[in-house]
Structure 1
Amino acid sequence: MSHKKVLFSVALLIFLGSLEKSIVTTPLPVIGQVLNATEHLTWVITAYLIAATSIIPICGKLSDLWGRIKVINVSLVIFIVGSLLCSFATTLDGLIVARAIQGIGGGGLISLAFIVISDVIPARDVGKYQGYISLIYVVSNVTGPILGSLLTEYISWRMIFAINLPLGLLAIFIITKTIKPCTSTIKRNLDWLGAALFTTSTGLVILLVGGSINLSPLLLLIALGWILFSVIYLAVSKRPSLIPWHMFKLDNYLACLCLMGASQIIMIVGLVYFPLHMQWQEGISLVNSGHAMILFTLGICAGAYVAGKQIARTGYYKTYIFVGFLLNIISFALLFQKILLIPLFPIIGFGLGCTLPALTCAVQNVLPVSDRGIGMSFFGYVRELSGTLGIAMFASVGELATGFNLSVYAFIYLITAIITGIALIGTLYTINDRNMLCSSVN
């Protein structure tokens, strides 16, 4: 099958699933006015994030058991139904429920897109194509708020959901025509109890860290107990586990999970806090700060292109992970010292562009075919969860910054530099550079 057609197909999946995380952020005040709801509006975002993040490993596991195409199509149908319900919502509660349904489908799309690339693209080209997919993932996050504001301003806020109907149907048609089943399914049942425990525990972690709910001490203790019980069950259950624990013994796998978490925190700082810093601290206008963020995006494009091409040519990936984190630690140290601001955006973006596809290739290179679905999707789960928890972590640094006699943004940049430094050391001592072109795993 044509690699370009496969790339277009999975790019559409990534675009749909990832775009809906951020497209609703700018129209949120308008939605609140129309639905006569001024409180709990953030649940419109939170419901999607919780559902999408929680479902990612389950979809990956199901794709190992049932096949990729079947799970992709089911995810698309759920995503389309959720989008349709969102576009017709007349109350905030109805919209929140619809967003959760939409998130279940969106999480499946994000999960399966990366897996399909690892299935279809041969090892010699996988770096290049994973670079393209990583780029599309980032760009869709960046363009979401812009597209959301334009659709709301010139048509209606309901269009930010309704636009997914024709795109979703197009995706079903293209996926069915383009991608052929290429992996044998495993005749084994999913541990549905484990999946339910995993999903609810992920939601509780996001809610507790993000401060989306205020619990009494008793309810907090019950929530923490539930999370602990879920972890113990998944670790000791004799049923076929949702997460095969032997994956964590694979060379590079656990290290790449941690490094991806660090990369996603850097990404969140760029996407969320660079615009806020420019507008609130430097007095840069909304339009000009948007133009400056283009530099960040272009840096990611350049980094993903260079790293992807070089990994495809040489088969090695450790150098690009190291270079990416090195550029980022230098940049955030300069940001902390207030030496530069906007000129560092493309450098930080370039570092991220190098790191993201290289980490994805490193993970794919060690996963056996039988665990590739759950292995790649759990990697995606860590990526999404790290971003969500990163937002929650940085949202609570105000008091700490005051205690250290630092501004909020300086403190955020300091924390990010420390995290990046740890990641840089981790890359040196934990990543074993295996040649993808010679690997027998793929």
Structure 2
Amino acid sequence: MQKETKRPLVLAAVMLAMFVGAVEATIVTTAMPTIASELGGFSRYSWIFSSYLLMSTVTVLIYGKLADVFGRKPIFFVGLTIFLIGSILCGFAGSMEQLIIYRLVQGIGAGAVMPIATTIVGDIYSTEERAKIQGYLSSVWGISAVSGPVIGGLLVQYVNWQFVFWVNVPLGILAMAGIFFFLHEPKETHNASVDYRGAVLLTIALSSILVWLVEGGQAFGRFSLIGLLLLAVSAVIFFLFFRQEQLAKDPLISFSIWKNPIILYANLVSLTTGVILIGISSYLPTYVSGVMEQKAIIAGFALTAMSIGWPLASSLAGHLLIRFGPFLVSFAGGISLVVGSMMFVFMNAGLGPIWAACSSFFIGVGMGLTNTSFIVTIQGAVSRTQRGSATAANMFMKNFGNTIGASVFGAILNGTLLTYFAAEKLTYSVDNVNSLLTEESRSLIPIKELVSLQTGLENSLHWVYIAIAFFAWISLLLILRIPRGKVYEHVDN
């Protein structure tokens, strides 16, 4: 006899697992200025995010397919275990290069955490219940937003930055225990296979374009022989990947469900909002610490505002979604993204961290409204046997956006810094920005040099925010293509 799933306890375990993933972002981004200052290598700063995002982007599709084939529990355990091992290793990193490698390991496991946790909720609740339960799930972002920067700031200031990674371990183990004891899945067997060839092709294609975006203009010319070769490899492999997905018996990405226009545009907007999200979370602490000369904990609270706006808007979206449908809810989110991004464009050091926090809050509201609308709608539009893959595809687009954003914004930041130094005839390198990131290191810099470096960093980040605003406007235009109508439930649910 099939044991009954204890939904409240499973929901609590899912929320804890999502907290582990969410708090990772708020703690690490807050601590990164300190980590970069201690380990050196500011020019490799964006790789800390890119390496993690690259692996989580590729593996999210594999985990989604495996979860449909073998069940949610075993694949969730495998992914979270790898994530926790990576977290432990990150704390032992002795250089920026080691940290990048360990973040790769962490990313391999991270691909399972959010999509499978979200899929589990989709399995045990109906569409109407999911719309309401999103408020609870999104409260995770608020809790991690408030606690993450505080915990991260305290650990960096009074203990050591290594603990920002190690704090994940006991929480992750507790989440696995809750899923193990209280989630009881139906006994189903599916004659399906995992498209490993597609996974390899996608990894090569993403890696090639990532190296071109991040290292182009530094290690080699963007349009040098090496640069053009990387572009050519990426283009060819992407073509082979799309062909493979069309021929594969069980593709990583089932493009058939993308014929549904709501799923198509929801996934495209998730791509652009993923770009926006990584841009804000990666570089807002750098601006507040390096340009505004605030402590790490203040930089963290400026970023916290985004994650406070997120759950508030998500909870509201859950109530509005069934009544008004995904278009109006996501349109309101798109407007909020544009407002927040334009505030960042007009931000300067004199406006202080309050302006940065308000801008961040509007971005969070936009994220909460759009993400809630898309997840609930997509999960309601497919059967249970496709739900893991459909949820993973949406997460893939968001992660792919993160990967693109981390690379593009890293390239913009490094490129504009080098251009500024050359124009001002300054003998600095990108790594000299390390000295701006903590109060102790700033105090050692002569005032004239300090002003020059801060001007260069502020100018470079301004161009990053212009790029973020561009993607916010693209998001709004894509949302306008979403069909009007109500959320519906698939007949097989």
TM class by shorter-chain length? 0.7 to 0.9
Say whether 1:316 aligns with 2:325. Answer: yes
Say whether 1:440 aligns with 2:491. Answer: yes
1:292-312 deviation line (CA, Å, top 9, x unaligned): 444433322321121123335
Q: CA deviation at 1:66?
A: 1.0
In structure 2, what is the Cα distance between the partners aligned to 1:293 and 1:238? 42
- For the residue of structure 2 that corresponds to 1:190, the secondary structure is coil
In structure 1, what is the Cα distance between the partners aligned to 2:47 and 2:463? 28
In structure 1, what is the Cα distance between the partners aligned to 2:83 and 2:462? 39
Residue aligning to 2:436: none
Of 425, 430, 436, which aligns to 2:477?
A: 425
1:25-66 deviation line (CA, Å, top 9, x unaligned): 455576678879898576554432222222111100111111
What are the ranges of 5 or more consecutive residues in structure 2 without an aligned counterpart? 421-457
- For the residue of structure 2 that corresponds to 1:242, the secondary structure is coil
Residue aligning to 2:225: 217
- For the residue of structure 1 that corresponds to 2:261, the secondary structure is coil
Residue aligning to 1:260: 270
Say whether 1:154 aligns with 2:154. Answer: no
Residue aligning to 1:326: 335
In structure 1, what is the Cα distance between the partners aligned to 2:467 and 2:42? 33
In structure 2, what is the Cα distance between the partners aligned to 1:285 and 1:264? 27
Equivalent residues in 2 for 1:206-355 (5 A)? Answer: 206-211=210-215, 214=219, 217-218=225-226, 219-220=229-230, 223-224=233-234, 227-278=237-288, 288-311=298-321, 314=323, 316-333=325-342, 336=345, 341=355, 343-355=358-370
Say whether 1:121 aligns with 2:125. Answer: yes
Say whether 1:194 aligns with 2:198. Answer: yes
Of 5, 16, 21, which aligns to 1:17?
A: 21
1:287-329 deviation line (CA, Å, top 9, x unaligned): 55544444433322321121123335x3733211011112332
Q: CA deviation at 1:337?
A: 5.7
Comparing 176-185 with 85-94, greater Cα deviation is found at 85-94
In structure 1, what is the Cα distance between the partners aligned to 2:32 and 2:294? 23
The question of whether the paired residues in 2 share the 8 Å contact of 1:79 and 1:104 is answered with yes
In structure 1, what is the Cα distance between the partners aligned to 2:325 and 2:167? 40
Residue aligning to 1:175: 179
In structure 2, what is the Cα distance between the partners aligned to 1:266 and 1:20? 18
Change in 2 beyond 3 A, CA 1:350/1:383: same
Partner AA of 1:237 in structure 2: L
Equivalent residues in 2 for 1:89-128 (5 A)? Answer: 95-128=99-132
In structure 2, what is the Cα distance between the partners aligned to 1:93 and 1:277? 24
Of 392, 412, 424, which aligns to 1:377?
A: 392
Change in 2 beyond 3 A, CA 1:62/1:415: same
The question of whether the paired residues in 2 share the 8 Å contact of 1:300 and 1:352 is answered with yes
In structure 2, what is the Cα distance between the partners aligned to 1:129 and 1:14? 14
Partner AA of 2:270 in structure 1: M
The question of whether the paired residues in 2 share the 8 Å contact of 1:81 and 1:102 is answered with yes
Partner AA of 1:351 in structure 2: G
Partner AA of 1:231 in structure 2: F
The question of whether the paired residues in 2 share the 8 Å contact of 1:124 and 1:315 is answered with no
- For the residue of structure 1 that corresponds to 2:176, the secondary structure is helix
Residue aligning to 2:65: 61
Change in 2 beyond 3 A, CA 1:142/1:231: farther
The question of whether the paired residues in 1 share the 8 Å contact of 2:17 and 2:117 is answered with yes
1:118-141 deviation line (CA, Å, top 9, x unaligned): 111111111122343345357647
Change in 2 beyond 3 A, CA 1:100/1:415: closer
- For the residue of structure 2 that corresponds to 1:430, the secondary structure is coil
What are the ranges of 5 or more consecutive residues in structure 1 without an aligned counterpart? none
Comparing 234-243 with 246-255, greater Cα deviation is found at 234-243
In structure 1, what is the Cα distance between the partners aligned to 2:391 and 2:96? 35
Partner AA of 1:11 in structure 2: M
Residue aligning to 1:4: 8
Partner AA of 1:358 in structure 2: S
In structure 2, what is the Cα distance between the partners aligned to 1:14 and 1:56? 15
TM value normalised by structure 1: 0.83
The question of whether the paired residues in 1 share the 8 Å contact of 2:209 and 2:231 is answered with no
The question of whether the paired residues in 2 share the 8 Å contact of 1:7 and 1:129 is answered with no
Q: CA deviation at 1:242?
A: 2.0
Partner AA of 2:165 in structure 1: F
Change in 2 beyond 3 A, CA 1:259/1:42: closer
Say whether 1:184 aligns with 2:188. Answer: yes
The question of whether the paired residues in 2 share the 8 Å contact of 1:142 and 1:271 is answered with no
- For the residue of structure 1 that corresponds to 2:252, the secondary structure is coil
In structure 2, what is the Cα distance between the partners aligned to 1:235 and 1:88? 39
Percent same amino acid at aligned positions? Answer: 26
Aligned length: 438
Change in 2 beyond 3 A, CA 1:295/1:108: closer
Partner AA of 2:331 in structure 1: F
1:378-416 deviation line (CA, Å, top 9, x unaligned): 11011122123223323444678999xx95565555544
Partner AA of 1:430 in structure 2: I
1:193-246 deviation line (CA, Å, top 9, x unaligned): 222222332333333333388466255256325533542442443443222221
The question of whether the paired residues in 2 share the 8 Å contact of 1:234 and 1:243 is answered with no
Change in 2 beyond 3 A, CA 1:15/1:290: closer
TM value normalised by structure 2: 0.75
The question of whether the paired residues in 1 share the 8 Å contact of 2:50 and 2:406 is answered with no
Partner AA of 1:329 in structure 2: V
